[in-house]
Amino acid sequence: MKERVPTYEVITFGCQMNDHDSEVMAGMLESLGYEPAASTDEADVILVNTCCVRETAENKIYGLLGRLAHLKDKKGDLIIGITGCMTQRPEVARKIKNRFPQVDLILGTHNLHRLPELLLQARECRKRVIEVWEQAGEIVENLPIRRASKVKAWVNITYGCNNFCTYCIVPYVRGRERSRRPEDILNEVRQLVQEGYREVTLLGQNVNSYGKDLPQPTSFARLLAKVDQVPGLWRIRFTTSHPRDFIQELIDTIARCPHVCEHIHLPVQAGSNRILKLMNRGYNREYYLDLVERIRRAIPGVAITTDIMVGFPGETEEDFADTMDLVERVRFDGAFTFVYNPRPGTPAARLPEQVPDKVKSERIQKLIERQNEITLAHNQALVGRVEQILVEGESKTNPAMLSGRTRTNRLVIFPGPRDLIGQLVNVTVTGARLTHLEGQLPATV
């Protein structure tokens, strides 16, 4: 009788960094002989990759652990593991250990590469395994990986962050900035092209400070120019940028490199200089507005998106008005908007004058409403234009349609044959929605 292949599921919360870590976890599990489970109920190993950037994310994860605990009551040999930014916080790892005896494996963000060994310990010895490293060690290269897409790939270039924005927990759970060696990044990109990948996104909490910590320091601009030379690569994207480190050399490099897409995600967070100072962002609104102008001058048609937070401690109506004014002046192509959320251990959580929830929700509604109008207007301005799309696959909302992105990172949904997946095609934009564009292939295709 053929032995049943053990199965796994990785449940991911949070940012692109976590999405990519989950791809590595899936790769390591498959190197141990596991296969993806058809459903959570059927999985033999369930890994939860956590996020702690907001309290809401943490509460969702506690809820999930409660449900998985019930699953384990029915399926005794199920192994439940938890990792990511939440468990990198010692007090949270302890809380999970005490509150969820059904959790067999607890790792942090610094020892992901230890997953196979620790999982085997938990499985073979049937005992709980808890290992969270306080400090990050050397970057471990060439870990097995199961990528979610066959067309585009995440490529880490840095880990951690040194910026210590006062509201942010990332530096405490992801450690200090560590850059991968350029040759390791270029080898990975070349390998990806050989495997048929056509687009890479260079990933880091702050890609703009890439290379400063290397024995032979280099810059993000130099790395980008080298990646642009990789034969067979059609598109390069990168995220996330910190405005303070977005130097002119980088702007000129993006403008010069044909494969670097015309989309820059440039979190501003607030429009008030007083709040930017309290956030320890390291720039003021004048600097940011000038940077946007220099980027738009050098890179015609570039899309600029951002992150904006409302309700930072002490934020007055005047401060918020400065944020709304900056939104009017920049007219972002899109924005992720957040309500300030105190994170334990961050300086901002200890600041006086925490803004009442009612005021926070009034401000976020106003911001979302106005930014949505601007985003839709940008999208509507593209109706009638022909855009080059990298076809990523079936549309998530309508499997009968295909979807892909413009070089400015706009999602386009259009009818077409499946054999176009992975191809670059020209699509005429026929309609515009807030979240995406609608398109048509030329009659001949």
Per CB under 6 A, residues contacting ligand SF4 are 161, 163-165, 168, 170-171, 205-206, 242
DSSP class of residue 420 equals G
Between 242 and 363, CB nearer to ligand SF4: 242
* Token digits of residue 329: 């002046």
**Minimum gap (Å) between residue 265 Cβ and ligand SF4:** 11
Between 103 and 264, CB nearer to ligand SF4: 264
Largest CA distance in the chain: 73
Other Cβ atoms closer than 10 A to 162: 16
Residue at token pair 């870590």: 21
Torsion angles phi and psi, residue 263, rounded to 5: -140, 130
State how far the Cα of 12 lies from the Cα of 48, in Å rounded to an integer. Answer: 6
**Minimum gap (Å) between residue 322 Cβ and ligand SF4:** 19
**Minimum gap (Å) between residue 214 Cβ and ligand SF4:** 19
**Minimum gap (Å) between residue 168 Cβ and ligand SF4:** 3
**Minimum gap (Å) between residue 70 Cβ and ligand SF4:** 35
In sequence order, what E strands does 331-385 have?
Answer: 334-339
Between 164 and 336, CB nearer to ligand SF4: 164
> Measured between alpha carbons, how far is residue 170 from residues 17, 33, 166, 202, 392 in Å?
11, 33, 10, 18, 30
State how far the Cα of 93 lies from the Cα of 211, in Å rounded to an integer. Answer: 32
Between 166 and 406, CB nearer to ligand SF4: 166
State how far the Cα of 19 lies from the Cα of 85, in Å rounded to an integer. Answer: 12
Which residues, listed in sequence order, are joined to residue 405 by a DSSP beta bridge?
Answer: 390, 411
Between 163 and 341, CB nearer to ligand SF4: 163
Q: How many residues does the chain have?
A: 445
**Minimum gap (Å) between residue 291 Cβ and ligand SF4:** 15
Q: How many CA atoms lie within 13 A of 167 on its CB side?
A: 24
Between 87 and 208, CB nearer to ligand SF4: 208
